[in-house]
Amino acid sequence: MLSQKILRRKLRTYLEVILLFVVPIALLYFNIIPREFYLGVLVIYSCFVLVLVIREHWSLKTLDIRLDNLKKSILPYIVFTLLGIAALIILASILGKTKVSPNLYLLFLGWSIPIAFVQEFLYRGFLMHELYRLYASIGAVIVANAVLFAFLHVIYSGGAVILPLTFFGGLGFAWMYHKYPNLILISISHGILNFIAILYSFF
């Protein structure tokens, strides 16, 4: 009886992952939904995830929106972010990418941080917890999370660079989040790295 219950829960989780993290992106990739509606699609499936979180009575702590581990986690996140910045700048130099000249404040506060928080809520706050139910191995959880995170970026041009970049970035984010679970810090780190990636025209 218990194994049937666990099996049903796993099947439901697989279905949630496919419907929320694969189908919308595939619809955008194949232009069934026009790609200019990307943000709208992101908002809609964020709302679906929010409904699931509320229905399951997840607490802020379950989502790792927390301050209790801030002191222990902040230094590793600073180091991780600085290493990510260095890697992006070196990669941009190797690929001959030059800085763009956007409105920096608007790019950082109006785009990089909000989009990073939404993506981290979806891919680390929600999806990581769902993947823990599917896989006993932490390595499998991290790799599956990184694959789905990279898949989110399949709609961008320059896939030969973007997909490996977002896959390895996803591995880093998933590992950091597993090791130091704090949605606030991972979102700030992701926002800063988004900002650098856009600044050097990766996206």
Number of H-type helices and E-type strands within the chain: 10, 0
Q: Considering the chain, what is the average pLDDT of its residues?
A: 89
Domain range for residue 160? 2-199
Structure tokens at 58: 């997840």
pLDDT in tens, 129-158: 999 988 889 999 999 999 999 999 998 877
- CA 102/CA 160 separation, integer angstroms: 25
Q: CB atoms < 10 A from the CB of 147, how many?
A: 15
> Around 57, how many Cα atoms within 13 Å sit in the side-chain half-sphere?
0
Confidence of residue 198 (pLDDT cuts 50, 70, 90): confident
- CA 163/CA 153 separation, integer angstroms: 7
The count of domains in the chain is 1
